[in-house]
Structure 1
Amino acid sequence: MLWVQVNVWDRVLAAGEIQRMARCEDDPQGNYVSWEVGWTLQEVTSYEASLDDFCKDKFDMTYWFPSLTHVESQYLCSSMGSRHPSATDRQEILALVDKAQAKFPASHSCYADQWLNITDIQEEGVWRDGKTPVRGDIMWKKQEPNGIQYENCVSINGRGGLDDVNCNTNAKCVICFFEGPKRFSLLGTCELELRNVYFMVVQPDVGELQFLGYGAYKIMLQEEVWVWLDSVTNHTIATMVNTSLNFPMGRRWWKLERSVCGQKAGGLRRLLLSPCPPGHFTCDDATCIAIDHRCDFKHDCRDKSDELGCEVVSFPEDYQNHLPPRLEQEEGGVSLPITLTVGVESLGVNTLAMTLEVSYTLSLTWVDNRLLYRNLKHNSNLNVLSLATVRLLWAPEVAFVNTVDGHHTKMDYETNVRVNRLANAVERNSSSPAEEDVFSGEHNPISAVRKYGTVFTCTLHLGLYPFDLQHCFMRFRITSASKVFLEFNFTSSSVTNFGNELLVEYTVGTLELVKGESSTYSEMWVRVPLKRLASYAVLNIYLPTLVLLVVDYFTLFFRPSIFDVRMMAALTVQLVIATLFSQVSASLPKTSYFKMVDVWLIFCIGITFLTIIFHVLVDACLYSVPKDAVIMVGFKTFRDNKKGKAGSAAGSLCSSKPGDRMVLWSKIIVAGVFVIFNLIYWIYILA
C-alpha cells in the first residue's frame, strides 16, 4: 500500500506550519494545487485514512539471524543500534521462547536456541548484562552453569532454562530488538543532499538485511557481496571488500565502480554506514559514543578507533609555512596581531653581574586563516598538535633582545601548540568517513606555549644603593617579519607574576607591559620594578659603622694624658671601617659614580680621621714646650722647690684653660659634623 498526498503553495510556508505538518497536528491544503480538488484517479483504488494512520511508522521491531557466533551477535545488534536480549527470569525467558516458536518451525535454529547478552568473561561466576551485574535469580537449566572458566556465555535452551556455553565454538540464533525506526547515515560520499545520505534498514527475510535510501540509493547483498546501488539508473556505485564480520555497518573499504568525491573508479575508498544519532561518533564497529569523547586521550570505543585519525589541522595544497598569514588579501592589508602572554614563575637578580634571571612561561597566540581545523574541543588541552604537524606550521619567531646569548622562541618537543576553539563549526566534512566537523582558522586561534629560563641584562642605577628602586626589562621582538606584517597585540597581551614577590635583596612590584621603541620590528617589554630591601645593608653596614662611630666619638672623652690609648682606639675604628668599605665595594658592580653607601663609608672614614686630628691637636696644645723658654738650673731648698713647681706651671705658654677649650671644641665639632651630614644624607635619600 502506497500513501500519497500532494499539495502546492504559491508562498513560503512558515516554520510553525511545517512543524505542525511534520507532527501530524495539521493537514493544510495547498492554495495552488490541492490534493482534495481536481484529481482524476485511473486504475487506482482509493482509501480514506486518518491523519494518525498517515503519519504512523510501520516497522518490525525484531530482527532474527540464525547461526552466528557470540562475537558476531554482539557486533550485529550493536552495529544496527538495536539491543541484544538479556532475559534472566522465567517470565522473560518464556516470552522469548513463545515468540520464537510462533515464528519458526521446530527444525529451525531460532526455535529454541538463542544467544543472550549475558557473560561472566570479566570475572568468573559474576554474570553481567554488558557491564552491569545481573540482579536476582537466573533461570538456569538443571546442572547449569557447569562450564567454569571454559563456558562464559549464555543461551536459551527452550523452556528448560539457560545454558552456559563456550563463546567461540558455538553458533546460535541472534535476536536484535529495536526501540523504534533506525536511521542510518552513509558518510564519506561527498553527497550534499541528505536524501542521498540517509538510509533505513529492513529485513526482507530471516538473516537478511537491506538498507533503503531516502533517495535513489540502496545497499544490499548480491551474490555474497555487499553493493551500493543507484536504483534509478540501476548502476552499481561501489562494492564492499569482504571482512570477517561481513556486514556493511561501520567503517568499511569499498571498491568504486564510478567516481566518488573526485576519486576515480577502481580505487578503494573508506565509507561509514552509521546508526548513530547526531552528537555521536561512530566507532569502526558501528557502536556509538558521545562526540566529545573522540580524541580525548582515552579509549572509549571497544575497538579503540576513537583515538585514530585525530589530526587537528587540515593544510591547503598551496600552504607555505615560511610566509605569515595575512588578514586581508588586498594591497596594504593590516598586520597580523600576535598576542603575548607571559607567566613569570621565579625571578632572581644578580647585582654584581647586573642580570635578571627569569623562569617563565611564554605563550604566543595568532590566527592562520589559511587553515581548517577538525573536531575541535572546548577544552583546548585536547586540541594539542603533534610535533610533526608543528613543523609544517607557520609560527612567529620572537627574539629575546637583551639576553646574554641572544635567545629566541623555539618550536620543539617542549612546546605545547594547541588550537583554541572560540567559534562553532562552519560545516561537516562530507568527504570524511566519520562525524567530522570543520572549523575556520580565521576565528579559532593557535597558541604556542613553552617554558623558558633566560638571563636578561639589566642596567642597574646604583646611585641610591642600598635605598634604590630599579626597573629591569624583558624585551621581546618579533623577528619573523617587520611590523608592517606582524605586530604585538598590546590590548590582549598580558603578564602575570606567579612567583614569590620577596627576593633576597629586592621586593618585586607589579609587572606590566610597555610598547617597545623599535622602528622596524614590533617589540613588547615586560617592566619588572624592583625595590631593594635596605634591611640587609642597615644591619651589615650602617649599624656596625654607627657603633664604630660612637666608639670613635667616645675616644674624645678619654683623659688627654693617655694619648697612646686615644690614638690606638681611633686608628682601630678607622681600620675596621676601611676594611668594611673594601668588602662592600667588592660585592657591588664597579661604577664611575659614588653610591650612597660609598658616601656613607667615606664619611665614616673622614670623621674618624677628623677625630684623630683632634687627638693630635689636643696633645700638642697641652704638652708642647715653646722654643724661647729658658731652663733655670740651681740649688733650691725644699721651700724653693715647692715654689718652683708652682711657678713653672704658671709660666707655661699653653695653659690648661686653652687645652680644655680644645677638648671641648673637638667634641662639639665632631658631633656637629655628624649631625649636619646625616641631615643632608637622609633628606637626599628620602627625597
Structure 2
Amino acid sequence: MQMRTKQVGVVRFQTGNVATTESLLDTGLGLIPTLRQVSLARQVRVLYSWPVSVPPPLSNAVLVSRPASLRQVTLLVHLRLRRVTSHIPLLNYAVEGANEELFVELVPKKKDMHVQCCGGLVSEAFKFKLRMFRWQHICVSINLDTRILHVIYDNLEYRRQLHVPGSELGPGERLEVRGGGRLVVGQKLYSIDGDFIVLETLDGEVGDWRLYDMALEADQMKALLRCRELNDLRHPMIDLSSGHFKVLGPTTTRNITLAEICSDRVTGFYLFFPQKMIFKHAYTWCRKLKGNLILPEDGSTNEYFFDRFVSYKDQCDDIWTHLFWIGSGGNLTTRVWERLTDGEPIQWYQFLREYRTVTPEFQCIAVVTHDRYKWAACPCDIETCVLCNFTTHPEMRLRGLCKDSAFDRLFSFRDNKDYQLIFDGLAHVVMEERNDTWIMRSRLYPTLKAEMISQWVGQYPVGVHTWIIEGDRCRQKEVELLLTSCHDDEYTCNDGSCIRKDRRCDLSVDCADQSDEMDCSVVVVPDGYSAQLPPPTYKGTSLPILFALNITSVRTFDLVSFTIGIDVYIKMEWRDRRLKYNNLLGNMRANKLRRWREVWTPGLEMEDGTKSAVEIKTHSQAAYVVRAAEPLPDDDTTIREDVAFSGLENPLVFQDEATLTFKCHFELQMYPFDRQKCFIVFKIKDVTEELGMLVKASL
C-alpha cells in the first residue's frame, strides 16, 4: 500500500556556525535487542518526544527483552548532504572493546560505502555516486545466519556472500552483533565513550531513519526506498519516532511527507539582490549564477514576493516607482511579451492598464510599488532591484588557490530565510557578506580566513577578485581568485559571465570586458626558462630533432664561380618538456607561436662540400605546436580555464623558408652529359650529440 502522504521525521545535523562533535542522535547504552521475545513490564521511558504525533506509552507497556546479540539487521535511511566530510557516518554502534560492532559510513574521497559488523570480522566496501543537496536512498541488510549482505544505494544494488575464516572465531563463538552497546547517528564512535573527530561527521539531513532486527527481503527494501509502506512489516527496532534517540547539540528536527523525500524534483528557490541594475545587467547577473529573472505565473506567487520585498522599495526605486525586474521582454515585431527562457509568450501577467503595451521605448517589465501586485512596461535602462529564480543548486568553483590550500574549491548556494546569497563550501568554508565586505571563514579552522578587496559597495565575489588570505598553508597573502558557475565546456570572463570555450582566443571579442582575448599565447613559458638552453634529455637519451629538407627550385647555377643557389623549405620537429601549451587545435596552423623567439629553437650551421660556409637568405620563419595528445588534467591553481597540453607529448615544429647559396666542385669532363654531386652538411649550433641530434624525417 502506498502512503506517500505520511509524515516522517527529518533530522538536520551541524546547524551551527562551526563544525562540532556535539551534533548527533544518541541512544545511550543498551538499546540493541533482538525483539524476538517480549514480556510485560513497567512503563517504557521515552527519552525524546518526536514532533510527529505518536500514541502515549501505556502504563503496562510491552517492553522488549534484550538478549545479548543480534543476528539479523536492516538499516533504512534517506540522506541529503549539505557538506562533504572525510567520513560520513550513517550508523555507528559500539560495544565495549569494539567501536565497529555495527557500522555504516560513506567515504566520499574514495567513493566507497563501508559496512562493518561483529567487531570488524565483517568489513565490506561498495562503490556509490554521491549527489549533493538531493535525497539519496540507502538500505543495508545483513543476515548473519545465511551470511548474506545486501546493499541498495539509489539504483546501485549489491548482494555479497560473507566469508569469515573459522580461525577468526573462538571456540563456541558465532558471528553476531552483541547487545548492550551505544548507537549514534551523525558522529563516528571511536570508543563506547565517543572520542568523536570533527572531520568525520554528518553535515546534512537524514529522513525516515529506521533500524530493523531482521534482514529484509529485496522487494521489501526496494518498496521502502520508494517510500511505500508495507502493512505486514513489523515496526522497526529503532526509528526517529520511537523515542529512543536523544537529539544533541546544534541539531534540528522537522516533519515532511514521504512524497517529498522520494521526489526527484529539485525544489526551486529564489534570491533577492537589493542593488539597483539596468535590465541587461540584472539578466546577466542571474545568468552568472545559473538562474533566471523571476517570472510569476500565478497570483499567489506574485503577491508573495511583492509582500516579502516591498520593504526594500526605497533601495530599489529610481525616478520610477519600481521594485524588481520581471523575466520577460517585448517583441517589437509581434508586440507580444515573451519569456526570456524560451521566447514563448507569457501566459499570466498583472499589468497596469496604461502600461502594458510593447513599444520601442518600453520593452521591459518591472513590478511597481505604488499599486500593489501590479507590473508596468518600462524602459530597459532604468535601474531597479533583482529577484532571481533557481531550479537547481548551482555548483561554483574557486580557482587560483595553491595546491596545498585548506580553502574549499567547490561551493554552492541554496535557499535561506533571508533570500540572501551565501556560498557554502562543500567541506567547511562559508563565503558571506559582513559589514559590506565579503569574507571566507572556516567552520573547522578558526584562523583560516580571507577578505575580498571590493571596488565598490555591493560588489559580489563572482568573477575575478583580489583576496587577502590569513592562516592558510600557502605562502600567498594577496591573490587573485576566480569564482565561477561556468561548466566544463565554458570559459569564464573576468566578470563571471560564461561563453563557449571554443570562443576563447578566436580573435573575436565575446566577453563584455574583452577578457576572452587576453593572454592568448599558445605557449606557457615557466619561470626560469632559458631560450638559450636546449630541452633536457629524457631518460638518458639525446633529444631527437626530426629534420626534413625540400628543394623547391634552383635559383642560380654559376659554372664560372662554382656556386649554386637553391630555394629550400626546412622543417624541424622536437619536444620541449619544460613547456606547456594552451588551447591547441587539431589544425597545426592554428597553433602558431606569436613570439617564437621566447622558446628554444634549433639553430643550424651549414657548410658545403668545400668546407666553406653556406650563405643563407631567410624569407620566412615560423613555429607551431602539433596537437598529438589529449589535454592535461585541469589545473585549478590558475584562474584561466585554458585547456593545457604537455610539452613532452605535443611537439614543436619550426619551419624556415630560405635561399641557400653554396660552392660545389663541378666535374666537367663529360659536360653537358655529366651528373654532379654537391653537398651541404647541417649541424645543430651549440648542441653536442649527447644533448641533441638531427634525425632524417619526411616532410
Q: Which residue of 1 aligns with 2:571?
A: 363
Task: Write out aligned runs for 1:390-469 (5 A).
Answer: 390-402=596-608, 406-407=614-615, 415-469=621-675
Q: What residue is the counterpart of 1:212 in the other structure?
A: 424
Output the amino acid matched with 2:693. E
Q: Name the counterpart of 1:155.
A: 366
Q: Deviations over 1:635-677 (max 9, x none)?
A: xxxxxxxxxxxxxxxxxxxxxxxxxxxxxxxxxxxxxxxxxxx
Q: Which residue of 273, 288, 297 maps to 1:79?
A: 288
Matched with 1:42 is 245
Unaligned 5+ runs, structure 1:
88-93, 496-687
- CA gap of 1:462–1:429, structure 2 versus 1, over 3 A, is same
Q: Distance in 1 between matches of 2:288 and 2:419?
A: 15
Structure 1 254/408 Cα, relative in aligned 2: closer, same or farther at 3 Å? Answer: farther
The DSSP-based 3-state class of the residue aligned with 1:339 is strand
For residues 47 and 132 of structure 1, the distance between their equivalents in structure 2, rounded to whole angstroms, comes to 37
Deviates more, 1:201-210 or 1:342-351: 342-351
Q: Aligned pair 1:251/2:251, yes or no? A: no
What code does the residue aligned with 1:68 have? K
Cα drift, residue 226 of structure 1? 0.5
The aligned residue for residue 289 of structure 1 is 499
Residues 56 and 95 of structure 1, relative CA distance in 2, 3 Å threshold: closer
What's the offset of the Cα at 1:406? 3.4
Secondary structure of residue in 2 paired with 1:442: coil
Segment drifting more, 277-286 vs 193-202: 193-202
Q: Which residue of 1 aligns with 2:205?
A: none
Q: Deviations over 1:436-478 (max 9, x none)?
A: 4543322222222233233344555455544555555554322
Contact 2:616 2:658 in 1 (8 A): no
Q: Is the 8 A contact 2:283 2:292 kept in 1?
A: no
State the alpha-carbon separation in 1 of the partners of residues 307 and 403 from structure 2: 44
By how many angstroms is 1:72 displaced? 4.1
The change in CA–CA distance for 1:355 and 1:177 in structure 2 (over 3 A counts) is farther
Where does residue 53 of structure 1 map in the other structure?
Answer: 261
Aligned residue number for residue 543 of structure 1: none
Aligned residues: 474
In 2, the alpha carbon distance for the partners of 1:153 and 1:47 equals 42
Q: 1:459 to 1:84 in 2, by over 3 A?
A: farther
What one-letter code is carried by the residue in structure 1 that aligns with 2:390? F
Q: Which of 224, 239, 247 matches 2:436?
A: 224
User: Aligned to 1:5, which of 90, 94, 118?
Assistant: 90
User: Could you tell me how far apart the structure 2 residues matched to 1:132 and 1:42 are?
Assistant: 50
Structure with the larger helix share: 1
2:366 aligned partner, one-letter code:
S
- 1:200 corresponding residue in structure 2: 412
Which residue, out of 513, 534, 540, partners 1:324? 534
Taking the TM superposition and a 5 Å limit, the aligned residue runs for 1:460-499 are 460-469=666-675, 475-490=681-696, 493-495=697-699
Q: Among 301, 304, 314, which residue is 1:102 paired with?
A: 304
Seen in structure 2, the aligned counterparts of structure 1 residues 483 and 137 have a Cα distance that, compared at 3 Å, is same
RMSD over aligned CA atoms reads 4.7
1:398–1:480 contact (8 Å) kept in structure 2: no
Shift, 1:54, TM fit: 6.8
How far is the alpha carbon of 1:208 from its aligned partner? 1.6
Larger radius of gyration: 1
Classify the secondary structure of the residue corresponding to 1:238.
strand
Residue pair 2:604, 2:682 contacting (<8 A) in 1 also: yes
What CA distance in whole angstroms lies between the structure 1 residues aligned with 2:282 and 2:469? Answer: 29
Q: In structure 1, how many angstroms separate the alpha carbons of the residues matched to 2:579 and 2:500?
A: 26
Partner of 2:379: 165
Question: 1:355 offset after TM fit, Å?
Answer: 4.5
Amino acid at match of 1:455: T
Identity between Structure 1 and Structure 2 (%): 22
520, 527, 541: which one aligns with 1:334? 541
Q: What's the secondary structure of 2:499's corresponding residue?
A: strand
Q: Distance in 2 between matches of 1:237 and 1:280?
A: 29
Alpha-carbon distance in 1 for matches of 2:406, 2:360 = 49
Shift of 1:336: 0.8
Name the structure 1 match of 2:389.
177
Tell me by how many angstroms 1:364 deviates. Answer: 1.9
Inter-CA distance 182–146: structure 2 relative to 1 (3 Å threshold): closer
- Change in CA separation of 1:51 and 1:127 when aligned onto 2, cut-off 3 Å: closer
Q: 1:23 to 1:284 in 2, by over 3 A?
A: farther
- What is residue 398 of structure 2 aligned with on the other side? 186
Verify the 8 A CA contact 1:152 1:166 in the aligned structure 2.
yes
Using the TM superposition, name which of 281-290 and 143-152 deviates more: 143-152
SS of residue matched to 2:658 = strand
- Whole-angstrom CA distance in 1 between matches of 2:627 and 2:273: 45
Distance in 1 separating the partners of 2:490 and 2:276: 28
Per the TM alignment, residue 341 of structure 1 is displaced from its structure 2 partner at its CA by: 3.6
State the distance in 2 between where 1:149 and 1:469 align: 83
Contact 1:426–1:438 at 8 Å: present in 2 too?
yes
Greater shift, 46-55 or 68-77, is seen at 46-55
Distance in 1, Cα, partners of 2:678 & 2:263: 76
Q: Report the Cα distance in structure 2 between the residues aligned to 1:52 and 1:475, rounded to whole angstroms.
A: 80
Tell me if the contact between 1:397 and 1:409 (Cα under 8 Å) persists in the aligned partners: no
**Aligned equivalents of 1:136, 1:78: Cα separation in 2:** 20
1:486-535 per-position Cα deviation (integer Å, ceiling 9, x unaligned): 21122xx124xxxxxxxxxxxxxxxxxxxxxxxxxxxxxxxxxxxxxxxx
Q: 2:508 aligns with which of 298, 303, 327?
A: 298
| Deviation of the 1:303 alpha carbon | 2.3
Which residues of structure 2 form unaligned runs of 5+? 1-10, 13-78, 80-88, 92-103, 105-113, 117-122, 132-136, 139-151, 163-175, 178-182, 186-210, 214-236, 239-243, 248-252
- Measure the CA separation in 2 of the matches of 1:104 and 1:79: 24
In structure 1, the residue matched to 2:445 is 233
3-state secondary structure, aligned to 1:428: coil
Structure 2 contact 397–409 (Cα < 8 Å) conserved: yes
What are the within-5 Å matches in structure 2 for residues 56-135 of structure 1?
59-66=267-274, 68-70=276-278, 71-84=280-293, 95=297, 98-105=300-307, 107-108=310-311, 109=313, 113-116=323-326
How much does 1:188 deviate?
Answer: 1.3
Asked if the contact 2:266–2:391 (Cα under 8 Å) also holds between the matched residues in 1, the reply is no
Match of 1:24 in 2: 154
Q: Which residue of 2 aligns with 1:645?
A: none
2:7 is aligned to none
Question: Structure 1 pair 232/219, CA: closer, same or farther in 2 (3 Å)?
Answer: same
Conserved 8 A contact 2:322-2:367: yes
Equivalent pair of 2:269/2:390 in contact (CA under 8 Å) = yes
Give the 5 Å matches for 1:652-663.
Answer: none
Matched, 1:262 2:262: no
State the shift of 1:51 in Å. Answer: 11
Q: Check whether the contact 2:412–2:424 (CA below 8 A) recurs between aligned residues.
A: yes
Residues 380 and 418 in structure 1, CA contact (< 8 A), matched pair in contact too: yes
For residues 407 and 687 of structure 2, what CA distance do their matches in structure 1 show?
A: 50
Counterpart of 2:459, as a letter, is N
What TM-score results when the alignment is normalised by the length of structure 2?
0.57
Give the superposition deviation at 1:138.
12
1:324 and 1:196, CA in 2 relative to 1: closer, same or farther beyond 3 A?
Answer: same
Task: Summarize the Cα distance change of 1:24–1:147 in structure 2 as closer, same or farther, 3 Å threshold.
Answer: closer
Quote the Cα distance in structure 2 between the aligned partners of 1:67 and 1:74: 13
